[in-house]
Chains A and B, each alone.
Chain A
Amino acid sequence: MRTILYLLQKEFIQVFRNKAMLPIIFIMPLVQMLVLVFAATMELKKVDITVVDLDLSETSTRLTSKFEASSFFHLTRAQLSPAETDQLLMKGTADVVVTFPSGFEQDLKRNDQASIQILVDAINGSAAELSNAYLQTVIGSYNMKIRAEMMGVPKFTPPQQVSVIPSYWYNPELNFKFYMAPGVLVILVTIIGLFLSSLNLVREKEMGTIEQLNVTPIKKYHFIIGKMMPFLIIALLDLTFGLLVAKLVFGLPFRGNILTLYVFTSLYLFLVMSLGLFVSAISDTQQQVLFVSFFFMIVFIIMSGLFTPVESMPLWAQNLDMINPVYYLIRIIRNVVLKGSGLFDMTRELLYLSLYGLTMFSLAVWRYRKTV
């Protein structure tokens, strides 16, 4: 046991003596929290909409101002030819163009129905869908209103109504940052844990210093633990740092037990570092370790539910997430921080992370050879 202490002492001295790595370890979390959380917002505001009103009737101008009243749209009025409309969309100056044809109001009064044309730039499919849905809601409620007006009844209501009342728990304001911040914390500890520890081990191979250790009677698991612990501690420090930023800058509520969070994060780091050290045990150069880790990290993160909900992935991909460590921690952190889940709510995750971690750790120890 004492051997490990000496190894830890050595690793810490080396980390803190490396002037290039210090800012990476301590400034990166701050920058990441601020940039990532602020940048990553899916909520759509201010869709650029251009209204081409060739009718200029009371009905069309009233509907136009309904569009304008919605905070979702940033509205411009213009008189354009169809060719000019195309140009506008090609350039990307407008996301949506709504055209009222001339004779719009007349049609409505004579035939009881009239059409408007809506052109949507649908390259971003989900944004286009959302914009259209908003437009339809505005048009729908306007429809109700003019119907009632034209028929002289106060408002049109069916005889029976079911009202569906939403209530959004744990995040009633639907603040997207509360969703992103815990996820970004996971990315943060992953980068520190995975890359620092695995590169550190293989660097000793590249530099030759590992040979001097290999002729000592040092136990393999001592050595591996010695490579893990310092970065585990640094990653937990960074987690604390990131949590503080989340709390102070974004006002992230913290409902759960902080100890639960640290227990899970430590288990997760144990797993991820074992994976990283396993990769470096089978590699000879930092470049190889880097590429392999990078590859897996990208796949893990894309599939983790950081940006898009896991529920919207196909079933096979959801099943594949069984072996994705990042998926687990993101889910756990969100549960603990926002909902206040405890260890007993997540016994399955607890058990799974421990078993997975132990397996990978044994693999790393087994595959690390003291011979050349």
Chain B
Amino acid sequence: MDQLLGFVKKEFTHIFRDPRTMVILFGIPIIQLMLFGYVITTEIKDARIAILDHSNDNVTREIKNKILSSGYFRLEANLIQENEIDPIFKKGDVKEVIVFEKGFAESLEREGKANIQVIADASDPNTAQMLFNYTNGIIQDYTKKKFAGFTIPVQIKSEVRMLYNENMVGAFMYVPGTMALILMLISAMMTSITIAREKEMGTMEILLVSPLKATHIILGKVAPYLLLSLIDAFVVVFLGNVVFGVPIRGSLFVLAFLVILYITMALSLGILISTVANSQQVALFISGFALMLPTILLSGFIFPIENMPVALQVLSNFMPPRWFIDALKQVMLKGNGFAYIWPNVLILSAMTLFFLGLSVKKFRLRLE
């Protein structure tokens, strides 16, 4: 036991000695959370647009004023001809061009109808649609106000309640996702790379012939990362709560249990990778790109799973983070307990056992 403690201590000093490692351990979660919280929003402000007004009368000027004072748009250029549109899009700054037809006010007055064409740069389809919706909304609002007297009483109204996230804050999505990503990064990637490093440098052989038991060596390598992961999990939850107001509605005990279970899973995955990889580069590519990308993409962190092709939906069932993120959201945001998350707990436990079993088997094979 003393031996083990001494070994764990040595591993800790290794980690803490290199400031670069500490940057990764604490810098990444904090910066990532800040980026997701402050930088990644879906609301568009100050989108650059150009206007091509063939009419330039009172009504078009009024509409233009409405649009430009809405806060969503910023006028980049006033165009004179249709053939200026393509070049300005090609430069890439302008996202939308609003075209008023000739004799706009006249036609509105005489025929009760006039057309505005909104040309959006749909190389980014979501933004294009959103910009069109904003523009359309502003224009419709303008006409509605102009004819405010024309409402008719019969109406179905709706009382809408946004549950669990009244203000629709993005951080509610990103905090659980960031947690899954960070814990995977530290637990699986860092462990697999440190163990692979010992192998590459030949120091693993020295450890293996020492009186330390193989399980102790692995435990010693893994223990510091378990602790660091826990600290990081705490940092993420704390920052999420204090800075972004992401609540913890469920029990802290269930939350802690879930986090520890996930970390254990990630550590076993890291050990498994290190039994396969002989060099740091290989461990990096396996853990970095075979683990990270699925964690980000196939877990429902950023992209909803329901929208993916069936093959990927099936594949996502095999991604541990998927089950973790789902359970985490339930516990933190909905206040659910084991009664709701037991399937997730079961699946994560089964995965952990599977990874551990497989690495023990691989490890034995190598020693024999």
Q: Tell me if chains A and B make direct contact, with any CB pair below 8 A.
A: yes
- Is the Cβ of B20 less than 8 Å from the Cβ of A159? no
> What B residues does A42 contact at CB under 8 A?
126, 303, 307
- Is the Cβ of B159 less than 8 Å from the Cβ of A299? no
Measured between C-beta atoms, what is the minimum distance from A52 to chain B in Å?
14
Interface segment out of the listed B111-119, B204-212, B218-226, B233-241: B111-119
- Is the Cβ of B164 less than 8 Å from the Cβ of A122? yes
Measured between C-beta atoms, what is the minimum distance from A99 to chain B in Å?
9
Instruction: Say whether, besides A142-B156, A146-B154, A341-B91, A164 and B139 are in contact (CB < 8 Å).
Output: yes
> What A residues does B95 contact at CB under 8 A?
311
Report how far A146 CA is from B126 CA in the complex, Å. Answer: 33
Q: Which of B47, B154, B162, B326 lies in contact with A311, CB distance below 8 A?
A: B47
Instruction: Say whether, besides A20-B279, A160-B143, A119 and B161 are in contact (CB < 8 Å).
Output: yes
Interface string of B130-147 (1 = CB under 8 A from A): 001001100110111011
Interface string of A67-111 (1 = CB under 8 A from B): 000000000000000000000011110000000000000001000
- Is the Cβ of A345 less than 8 Å from the Cβ of B87? yes
- Is the Cβ of B125 less than 8 Å from the Cβ of A171? yes
- Is the Cβ of A120 less than 8 Å from the Cβ of B114? no
- Is the Cβ of B126 less than 8 Å from the Cβ of A169? no
Report how far A317 CA is from B31 CA in the complex, Å. Answer: 13
Q: Which of A44, A126, A150, A303 lies in contact with B42, CB distance below 8 A?
A: A126
Q: Which of B144, B150, B153, B293 lies in contact with A36, CB distance below 8 A?
A: B293
Interface segment out of the listed B169-177, B261-269, B347-355, B358-366: B169-177
Flag whether B40 is at the interface (Cβ < 8 A). yes
Q: Which of A169, A295, A331 lies in contact with B89, CB distance below 8 A?
A: A169
> What A residues does B158 contact at CB under 8 A?
115-118, 135-136, 139
Q: Which of B28, B39, B143, B154 lies in contact with A162, CB distance below 8 A?
A: B143
Interface segment out of the listed B2-10, B50-58, B251-259, B332-340: B332-340
- Is the Cβ of A287 less than 8 Å from the Cβ of B193? yes
Instruction: Say whether, besides A128-B168, A160-B147, A299-B31, A290 and B173 are in contact (CB < 8 Å).
Output: no
Flag whether A225 is at the interface (Cβ < 8 A). no
Measured between C-beta atoms, what is the minimum distance from A243 to chain B in Å?
16
Interface residues of A in 255-279 (CB under 8 A from B): none
> What B residues does A171 contact at CB under 8 A?
122-123, 125, 128
Flag whether B166 is at the interface (Cβ < 8 A). yes
Measured between C-beta atoms, what is the minimum distance from B282 to chain A in Å?
5
The count of chain B contact residues (Cβ–Cβ below 8 Å) is: 113
- Is the Cβ of A286 less than 8 Å from the Cβ of B154? no
- Is the Cβ of A339 less than 8 Å from the Cβ of B122? no
> What A residues does B157 contact at CB under 8 A?
113-116
From A91, A126, A286, A291, residue with most partner B Cβ within 10 Å: A291
The count of chain A contact residues (Cβ–Cβ below 8 Å) is: 110
- Is the Cβ of B23 less than 8 Å from the Cβ of A295? yes
Instruction: Say whether, besides A160-B146, A164-B135, A164-B139, A119 and B281 are in contact (CB < 8 Å).
Output: no
- Is the Cβ of A115 less than 8 Å from the Cβ of B159? yes
- Complex: chain B residue closest to A107, CB-CB: B156
Instruction: Say whether, besides A35-B297, A119-B163, A168-B120, A291 and B20 are in contact (CB < 8 Å).
Output: yes
Instruction: Say whether, besides A291-B23, A303-B39, A339-B90, A112 and B281 are in contact (CB < 8 Å).
Output: no
> What B residues does A151 contact at CB under 8 A?
152, 154
Flag whether A63 is at the interface (Cβ < 8 A). yes
> What A residues does B78 contact at CB under 8 A?
none
> What B residues does A43 contact at CB under 8 A?
125-126, 307
Q: Which of A159, A164, A307 lies in contact with B116, CB distance below 8 A?
A: A164
- Is the Cβ of A161 less than 8 Å from the Cβ of B112? yes
Interface segment out of the listed A5-13, A172-180, A231-239: A172-180
- Is the Cβ of A122 less than 8 Å from the Cβ of B128? no
Flag whether A154 is at the interface (Cβ < 8 A). no
Report how far A78 CA is from B255 CA in the complex, Å. Answer: 33
> What B residues does A291 contact at CB under 8 A?
20-21, 23-24
- Is the Cβ of A123 less than 8 Å from the Cβ of B153? no
From B123, B164, B165, B278, residue with most partner A Cβ within 10 Å: B123
Instruction: Say whether, besides A63-B156, A167-B117, A341-B90, A125 and B125 are in contact (CB < 8 Å).
Output: no
Instruction: Say whether, besides A115-B157, A123-B164, A136-B158, A342 and B90 are in contact (CB < 8 Å).
Output: yes
> What A residues does B281 contact at CB under 8 A?
20-21, 199, 203, 286
Q: Which of B120, B136, B163, B197 lies in contact with A169, CB distance below 8 A?
A: B120
Interface string of A318-362 (1 = CB under 8 A from B): 000000000000010011001111100110000000000000000
Flag whether A28 is at the interface (Cβ < 8 A). yes
Measured between C-beta atoms, what is the minimum distance from B11 to chain A in Å?
14
From B18, B46, B193, B306, residue with most partner A Cβ within 10 Å: B306
- Complex: chain A residue closest to B150, CB-CB: A158
Interface string of A272-302 (1 = CB under 8 A from B): 0000000000010111101110110011001
Instruction: Say whether, besides A159-B147, A302-B36, A124 and B113 are in contact (CB < 8 Å).
Output: no
- Complex: chain A residue closest to B335, CB-CB: A90
Report how far A232 CA is from B113 CA in the complex, Å. Answer: 58
- Is the Cβ of A179 less than 8 Å from the Cβ of B161? no
- Complex: chain A residue closest to B168, CB-CB: A125
Flag whether B44 is at the interface (Cβ < 8 A). yes
Report how far A125 CA is from B132 CA in the complex, Å. Answer: 20
Flag whether A26 is at the interface (Cβ < 8 A). no
- Chain B interface residues (CB < 8 Å from chain A): 18, 20-21, 23-24, 27-28, 31-32, 35-36, 38-48, 63, 87, 89-92, 95, 108-109, 112-129, 132, 135-136, 139-140, 142-144, 146-147, 150, 152-170, 172-173, 193-194, 197, 278-282, 284-285, 288-289, 293-294, 297-298, 302-304, 306-309, 311-312, 326, 329-330, 333-334, 336, 340
Having A160-B109, A164-B118, one finds 6 other A-B pairs with CB under 8 Å, namely A113-B154, A164-B132, A166-B118, A291-B23, A311-B48, A312-B42
7 pairs from A and B in contact (CB 8 Å cutoff) = A42-B126, A143-B155, A163-B114, A164-B118, A168-B122, A290-B280, A291-B20
